[in-house]
A and B are shown apart, each in its own frame.
Chain A
Amino acid sequence: GQQVMQIPQYQHVQEGEDFTTYCNSSTTLSNIQWYKQRPGGHPVFLIQLVKSGEVKKQKRLTFQFGEAKKNSSLHITATQTTDVGTYFCAGPEFQGAQKLVFGQGTRLTINP
C-alpha cells in the first residue's frame, strides 16, 4: 500500500536557526496536507497543496509540493520557541479518497 515517509524523525535547533522537514510518498498524490501537533495536543491543519510545483507561504513557513507530486517540504525560517512540535504531512490513500495516510512526523525541539 501507499507509504508516506518523513525525514528527519527528530530535529533540534537553536532558536533563530532554520528548519526543514521532507515528506516523500511512494505514489503520486492528488494533494498533500501539513499538520502541526504540539506536545500533548492534537493535529492542527496548516495547509493543503494541490498543484505540481506549488509553493505557499505562511509568515515564516514555506511549503512546497514537488513537480512529480510525490514529495513535499516544509521550511521554517528563523525558528521561535512557539514552533516546537511535531510536523506531519499526509496525503489521500488514492485519488479521491478521504482516508489520509500520515507520515511518522518530524519532531522539532528548540534551544532558546
Chain B
Amino acid sequence: NAGVMQNPRHLVRRRGQEARLRCSPMKGHSHVYWYRQLPEEGLKFMVYLQKENIIDESGMPKERFSAEFPKEGPSILRIQQVVRGDSAAYFCASSLRWGRQETQYFGPGTRLLVL
C-alpha cells in the first residue's frame, strides 16, 4: 500500500526558470494539500485541492504559483520564474475525504534549491 509519492525529491533551478512539483496521493485519497517549509521553520499551508477543484488557496502567493489536481494523474504545484526565496521543502499531504477529523498523510517532499 504505497504512501504519498512526490517527485522529484530534489530540484535545482536557476532564477527565472519554472519548477514543477508532482504529488500522487495515497490510493483512494481524493484530497491533496500542499505545504511549504523553510529551514528551521514549521509547515505553512499553501493550497487544498480535490479532483479538478481548488478548494482553498489562501496560503498560496497570488503571483507565480499555481496548483492543479486533474481528473487523471498527479497533483502539480507549479512555480514560475523562481526566485531564491522560493528555496524550501514542499510537502504534499493527502486525506481520504473531507472531514474535521481526517488525518493527513505526508509525502517525502521536494527540496527546491534556486541558484
Contacts and interface: CB of A to CB of B under 8 A. Distances in A.
Chains A and B form a bound pair: yes
B100 A102 contact: no
A96 B59 contact: no
A89 to B, nearest CB: 9
A61 to B, nearest CB: 17
Contact of A98 (B35, B95, B106, B109): B95
A88 B35 CA distance: 14
Nearest to A1: B58
A97 B100 contact: yes
Contacts of B104: 33, 45, 100
Contact of A33 (B48, B103, B107, B108): B103
A50 B101 contact: yes
Interface string B15-57: 0000000000000000101010000011111001000000110
Interface residues of A, number: 26
Interface string A25-44: 00000110101000001111
A105 B42 CA distance: 6
A98 B55 contact: yes
A48 B108 contact: no
Interface in B55-107: 55-56, 58-59, 91, 95, 98, 100-107
Classify chain B: how many residues form its interface, as a range.
Answer: 20 to 34
Nearest to A104: B42
A88 B106 CA distance: 13
23 contacts: A42-B91, A42-B109, A43-B43, A43-B106, A45-B103, A48-B103, A88-B42, A88-B43, A96-B100, A98-B31, A98-B33, A98-B56, A98-B98, A98-B100, A98-B102, A99-B45, A99-B48, A100-B43, A100-B104, A102-B44, A104-B42, A105-B41, A105-B42
Interface of A: 30-31, 33, 35, 41-45, 48, 50, 88, 90, 92-93, 95-105
Given A31-B100, A43-B43, A88-B43, 15 more contacts: A31-B101, A33-B103, A35-B106, A42-B91, A42-B107, A45-B106, A90-B43, A92-B100, A97-B100, A98-B31, A98-B98, A99-B33, A99-B45, A100-B104, A102-B42
